[in-house]
Chains A and B, each alone.
Chain A
Amino acid sequence: MTKLLATLGAPRARAIVAVAGVLAYLASGFYTVPATSLAVTRLFGATVDAAVPPGVHWWWPRPIGQVDRAEVTRAFTMPVGYLAIEDARGMQPDPSIASWLTGDTNILQLRAKVNYRIADPAKYLFGSEQPAQVLRYVAGSAFTEAASSLSVDDLLTSGRLALLERVRAQTQLLLDRWDVGLQVLAVNLESVGPPAVVMAAFQDVQNARADRERLVSEAETYANGLVPVARGEAERKANEALTFQNQRVSRAHGDAERFAKLAAEHRRAPDLLERRLYLETAERVLPRVRRYVLDPGGDGALPIRIIE
């Protein structure tokens, strides 16, 4: 019995160990894919499934098979025009990284962020050595091509949006052409401006622009104050003239009516009226007079003073 056990037991134990070993090897093939990722399975180096969805799966363990994961839902950021490390330490970026040459041979400093995601896990994982660095350099070259054909004023003002779109499109085009497996989500310009040494001159242009607006708006204020007042003045003059016209014509009518009445009376008794009018006038006029003189004969020899 012990002999039997010894003869049967030893191989059986070896078999159990062998089977356990194989089972343990196979069991190590279970793997999970997080909800944010896709996995790529390979068998003897060749890609078998390029998009294993999240969950628990099994695949041949090494050295037969391999599993790699890529975070496809996450948006990554790549700085252009500065280095994340330098920036975090508050260091001034190297001019050879921060500065671009514009089409009118000005120097501009530009900072941008490229947001991207992994679009194709297999291409991302196996297609290129440093996918993110390729993206960074491609974006940099797209900025260079765009900047060297645009004027500094375009880049500082109206040309920005077009620039970003151009960089985005160009970057995506090359990434696709080279099978890098990345998708550009957005190119965001953080800042674009002249280097510190010429900043003051650029700011003075802004001030000058504001000065121009101010001068014009002051002149407009002056004009807006002046013309309506003149219009009012014109209106007043017209009204005055019309008032004068009314008065003049009314007086004429009044005078005419009065005279007509007087004339009618005159026709009835001319002498009487004339005498009355004459005397009334004399009454009114003579008391005002300083002195008056009687000329008895008309020869003027003996003036007689009556009143001093």
Chain B
Amino acid sequence: MRSRMLTATLAVLVALAAFGSAFVVETTEYAVVTRFGRPTRTYTTPGLHFRVPLVDQIVRMDARLLMTEPPMAEYLTLDKKNVVARIFLTWRVGDPLRYLQTVQLRDAAEARLAAVTSSEIGAAFGSVPFETLVSTDADKMRLGAIVDQIEQRVRDTAAREYGVDVVSLRVERLAFPQQNEASVYQRMRAERQRIAKQFRSEGEEQALKIRAEADRERARLLAEADRKAAEIRGQAEAEAARIYADALGADPDFYRFVRTLEAYDKIVDKDTTVILPADSPLMKGLLGAPGAGATR
């Protein structure tokens, strides 16, 4: 009975030892085994591992892609313009041992990264004019290249100093400092007013042009019509004259006689006073003896 108790106790102790010595490294983490505080082994791949209980300590750290957003900060460009930038970094632990020795905790790592980032951005932004960060001119705009350069410098420092692998550093937002906003809005408003004015004067100009063109076209059409009409009338007169000439030329004296009579008909009206000689052919017929009439 006593031996049975002993074996049972032993079995429990062995089980506890096995349980205490086995540990799992998850796929989301790295583990460093330290013996009396000194790192002895590093595990960067997941799996089941063993240690000496009580003697070996396990330090775990996140192996995943982590994101850090340093506080938004104001920077000064080469041409003394203030710009606020929100940065974010994605990073992971690159060298667990170095990470453990230098920063140990995530908060510390993030604080160091923020400091390095801030100073690198300050240096990079301070050496370029504002229009390389924000510009519609593709030749001047170099934001991408500048950020890549900052990223590279932060990556080098972080890897060397803290065992941190900076995957990316990007500018999430650019803005003006709050105290500059009023003047920016003022400028935006003025710009819009200028554009609105331009649209309206363009409209007036185009409208005037269209109206003037229409007026000119109208005048041209009417002048052309007048010219054609005059031409047609002229032709008509010419043709009529030719017809008259042809017909009347055959007997010009008789025509003159007939035409003269017609002219009398038109010239004489009710206010006309006519003096007739008594011996005119008309009067002779009335006053003189019959048969005394003569032609003309």
Identify which of A151, A207, A231 contacts B136 (C-beta below 8 A).
A151
User: What residues on A are CB-neighbors of B221 within 8 Å?
Assistant: 227, 230-231, 233-234
User: What residues on A are CB-neighbors of B62 within 8 Å?
Assistant: 129
A59–B88 CA distance with the chains assembled, in angstroms: 39
Determine whether the beta carbon of B27 is less than 8 Å from that of A216.
Answer: no
A205–B196 CA distance with the chains assembled, in angstroms: 5
Determine whether A240 belongs to the interface, using a CB cutoff of 8 Å to chain B. Answer: yes
Task: Give residues 142-179 of A contacting B (CB, 8 Å).
Answer: 144-145, 148-152, 154, 174, 178-179
Q: Closest residue of chain A to B237, judged by CB? A: A248
Knowing A227-B221, A241-B229, A256-B243, the reply to whether A290 touches B173 (Cβ < 8 A) is no
Determine whether the beta carbon of A128 is less than 8 Å from that of B66.
Answer: yes
Knowing A150-B136, A256-B247, A263-B251, the reply to whether A227 touches B214 (Cβ < 8 A) is yes
User: What residues on B are CB-neighbors of A238 within 8 Å?
Assistant: 225, 228-229, 232
Nearest-CB distance from A273 to chain B (Å)? 9
Task: Give residues 82-104 of B contacting A (CB, 8 Å).
Answer: 84, 86, 88, 90
User: What residues on A are CB-neighbors of B134 within 8 Å?
Assistant: 101-103, 105, 148
Determine whether B143 belongs to the interface, using a CB cutoff of 8 Å to chain A. Answer: yes
User: What residues on A are CB-neighbors of B174 within 8 Å?
Assistant: 100-101, 144, 148
User: What residues on A are CB-neighbors of B225 within 8 Å?
Assistant: 233-235, 237-238
Task: Give residues 112-151 of A contacting B (CB, 8 Å).
Answer: 126-130, 133-134, 137-138, 140-141, 144-145, 148-151
A274–B198 CA distance with the chains assembled, in angstroms: 85
Number of A-B contacts (CB under 8 A): 329
Determine whether the beta carbon of B283 is less than 8 Å from that of A294.
Answer: yes
Identify which of B203, B230, B270 contacts A214 (C-beta below 8 A).
B203
Determine whether the beta carbon of B233 is less than 8 Å from that of A244.
Answer: yes
Determine whether the beta carbon of A198 is less than 8 Å from that of B204.
Answer: no
Identify which of A104, A128, A295 contacts B278 (C-beta below 8 A).
A295
Determine whether A37 belongs to the interface, using a CB cutoff of 8 Å to chain B. Answer: no
User: What residues on A are CB-neighbors of B200 within 8 Å?
Assistant: 208, 211-212, 215
Q: Closest residue of chain A to B88, judged by CB? A: A137
A128–B93 CA distance with the chains assembled, in angstroms: 12
A111–B133 CA distance with the chains assembled, in angstroms: 22
Determine whether the beta carbon of B265 is less than 8 Å from that of A213.
Answer: no
Stretch of B34-42, B114-122, B252-260 contacting A (4+ beta carbons < 8 Å): B252-260
Task: Give residues 59-93 of B contacting A (CB, 8 Å).
Answer: 62, 64-67, 69, 72, 84, 86, 88, 90
A255–B86 CA distance with the chains assembled, in angstroms: 103
Task: Give residues 194-208 of B contacting A (CB, 8 Å).
Answer: 195-200, 202-204, 206-208
Determine whether B290 belongs to the interface, using a CB cutoff of 8 Å to chain A. Answer: no
A219–B231 CA distance with the chains assembled, in angstroms: 34
Interface string of B163-199 (1 = CB under 8 A from A): 0000110111111100001001101110111011111
User: What residues on B are CB-neighbors of A229 within 8 Å?
Assistant: 218
A197–B264 CA distance with the chains assembled, in angstroms: 93
Determine whether A30 belongs to the interface, using a CB cutoff of 8 Å to chain B. Answer: no
Determine whether B127 belongs to the interface, using a CB cutoff of 8 Å to chain A. Answer: no
Q: Closest residue of chain A to B182, judged by CB? A: A197
Q: Closest residue of chain A to B211, judged by CB? A: A219
Knowing A99-B175, A242-B232, the reply to whether A288 touches B268 (Cβ < 8 A) is yes
User: What residues on A are CB-neighbors of B217 within 8 Å?
Assistant: 223, 226-227, 230
Determine whether the beta carbon of B64 is less than 8 Å from that of A249.
Answer: no
Determine whether the beta carbon of A285 is less than 8 Å from that of B27.
Answer: no
Nearest-CB distance from A188 to chain B (Å)? 20
Q: Closest residue of chain A to B202, judged by CB? A: A212
Knowing A148-B174, A293-B276, the reply to whether A201 touches B193 (Cβ < 8 A) is yes
Determine whether B26 belongs to the interface, using a CB cutoff of 8 Å to chain A. Answer: yes
- What is A's interface to B at a CB cutoff of 8 Å? 42, 44-47, 63, 95-96, 99-107, 126-130, 133-134, 137-138, 140-141, 144-145, 148-152, 154, 174, 178-180, 194-195, 197-198, 201-202, 204-205, 207-209, 211-216, 218-220, 222-223, 226-227, 229-231, 233-235, 237-238, 240-242, 244-245, 248-249, 251-253, 255-257, 259-260, 262-263, 266-267, 270-271, 274-275, 277-279, 281-282, 284-286, 288-298
Not counting A106-B191, A212-B206, A215-B200, a sample of 9 additional A-B residue pairs whose C-beta atoms are within 8 angstroms of each other reads A96-B173, A103-B136, A107-B175, A230-B221, A234-B221, A237-B229, A238-B229, A248-B236, A295-B275
